[in-house]
Structure 1
C-alpha cells in the first residue's frame, strides 16, 4: 500500500509538493520497517499504525520540514503501544513481560511492600490497557520519548497516588486465605496417593501449561496470578464478559486434559490405579495451576 496518502488522510495537515510527498513516503516506509522489526510476532496492520502515528504527528515545522518530521520518534515503542491499544493479545503479553513485570525494579527506591507493588501493577495495567467508553490510555503515548521513560513516570505517579490514599496495607487475614484452599477430603489413602505422585503431577501440569499458545497462557496468568475477573479480562481484550469467560474455561480445560494425558502416559499404572490417582488430584487442578503460575 502507499503509506503517505493513508497517513495524510488521517492527519490534520497536507502536503502539496510531489517531492515532499515522495520524501514522506520514504520516511513512513522507514518508520514502519523499524516499528515492525522488534515485534515480528505482533500482527499489527499498516493502516492501524499509520492512524496511530498520524494522531500524534504535528504538521512539519518550517525549519525541519518533512525530513525532521519523525526525528525523535521511537518506532518500535510506538508500534507496541499501538498494538496494545488495538487489544492484540501478543502485544499485551509483550507489554506485560517488558514493562509491567519491571515495575518493582522501577519502584525499588520507594521500598514498597509486595502487596503494594502488586496493587501498583494492577492499577497501571487497568489504567493503560483496559478499554472503557474511550480508548485505553496507552493510546496517548506519542513515541517522542522511550516507552520505558513514559512507563516510569506512570508507575511512580500511580505509586504516589496509592500511598496518598491507602493508610494501611491491604492483606488477607488467615480466615480469608483459608477460603481459597480446598476442603480436606480426610481420606488417608487419597492423601497418600497425592504425596506419592506429587512430583509427577506438578511436572505434567507445568508441561501442559507450557504447551499452550501464548494467548491462553496470558489469560491464565491474568486470572490466577493477577486475580483479574472475567469482566476486566474482557475489557482488556475489548470483548464481552461471556467471551472472556469462555476463553478462560477453554484454556483451563486444555491444561486439565493435557495434564491427564501426560500422567496416563508417564505413570506405569493399571486402569484402576490411574483412576484413583486422577480422582485424588482432580479437585486440586485449578489450585495447583494457581500455585505453579504464582511461583513462576
Structure 2
C-alpha cells in the first residue's frame, strides 16, 4: 500500500512535499515502523494508522515542513491510541495495563480513598474508550506529547471534578438537612421553648455541621443518606466495622457537643433556665441528626 496518497487525501492540505511523493512515502513508513514496533501484538492496519496520523497533522508552517512535524511525534503512543480508538482488544488490554493501572500512583499525592480512585479509573475508561455518537475520546490524542503526560492530565482533572462534585453534594446536603429542626413531643412547655429559641438552635446546628471536618461529614452522609452500614463503610475505608462505627459515633457526638456549646455561649440564661432549654432540645438531638441527614 502506498501511504503518501492516502495521507495527503485525508490531511486536506497540499504542501511542497506532495510534489516529492517518494520522500513523503519514506517519512510515513518511518513513522509507521516506529509506531508499531512497541506493539507487535496489536494488529492495527496501515490505513487506520495513516488516517489517524493525517487527522492530527496540521498544515506545516513555513520553515517547518512535514519532517519537522513528524519529529514532534511519539509514534508508539499514537499507534496505541489509534488502535484503542479502533476498539482492538489487544490495544485496550495494553492500555489498561500500562495507563489505567498507573492511575493510583498518578493520584497518590491527592490521598484519595480507594473507592474514589476506583471511581476515577472507571470514569477515565468511560470517558476515553466508550463510543457515544462518534469516536471515543482517545481518538483526540494527537501524539505530540507522551501519552503518559496526556493521561496524567485526564486523570487529575477527573479526580478534581469528582472531588468538586462531592463537596457540592455535601454543601447541598447540609443546607437541605438543616431545614429540619427537632420535632415537638407535644408538651406545651417544650413547644414554647423550641419556638422561642428556634433561631438560635438552627444557627447552632448549622455551625456545628460547618465545624465538622470533611471526613466526618462524609461519613454521616454515607450512613444516613446513602444508608451504608458500618460494615460497608469500613470496607470503603479499608478499616474494620468497629472502627467505622467508632468514627460515626464520634462524628455524631461532635455535632451534639458543638451545638450544646454554642447554645450555652449565646443564650443569656441562668443555669436553671439553660438546663431547661438544653433538656428540651438535647432529648431531640439524636433524632434530629438522623432526620436531618436522612431527609437531605
TM-score bracket for this pair, using the shorter chain length: 0.5 to 0.7
Distance in 1 (alpha carbons) for counterparts of 2:74 and 2:33: 12
Query: Deviation digits for residues 59-99 of structure 1, max 9, x if unmatched?
Result: 12210223213111000000000000000010000000000
Distance 1:78 1:18, change over 3 A: closer
Report SS of the residue matched to 1:53. Answer: helix
Distance in 2 (alpha carbons) for counterparts of 1:17 and 1:80: 27
1:49-128 correspondence runs (5 A): 49-128=49-128
Quote the offset at 1:14 in angstroms: 2.0
Corresponding residue number in structure 2 for 1:35:
35
Query: Deviation digits for residues 99-143 of structure 1, max 9, x if unmatched?
Result: 000000000000001000000000000000000111111000000
TM-score normalised by length of structure 2: 0.57
Aligned length: 177
More helix by share: 2
Q: What residue ranges of structure 2 are gaps of 5+ in the alignment?
A: 168-217, 233-296
CA RMSD across the alignment: 2.0
Report SS of the residue matched to 2:20. Answer: helix
Corresponding residue number in structure 2 for 1:153:
153
Cα contact 1:72–1:144 (8 A) shared by 2: yes
Cα contact 2:41–2:90 (8 A) shared by 1: yes
Corresponding residue number in structure 2 for 1:289:
none
Corresponding residue number in structure 2 for 1:48:
48
Distance in 1 (alpha carbons) for counterparts of 2:117 and 2:73: 31
Q: What residue ranges of structure 1 are gaps of 5+ in the alignment?
A: 178-296
1:210-229 correspondence runs (5 A): none
Structure with larger Rg? 2
Cα contact 2:8–2:18 (8 A) shared by 1: no
Quote the offset at 1:15 in angstroms: 4.1
Cα contact 2:7–2:50 (8 A) shared by 1: yes
The match for 1:173 among 201, 220, 228 is 228
TM-score normalised by length of structure 1: 0.57
Corresponding residue number in structure 1 for 2:173:
none
Distance in 1 (alpha carbons) for counterparts of 2:100 and 2:133: 23
Report SS of the residue matched to 2:60. Answer: coil
1:278-289 correspondence runs (5 A): none
Corresponding residue number in structure 1 for 2:11:
11
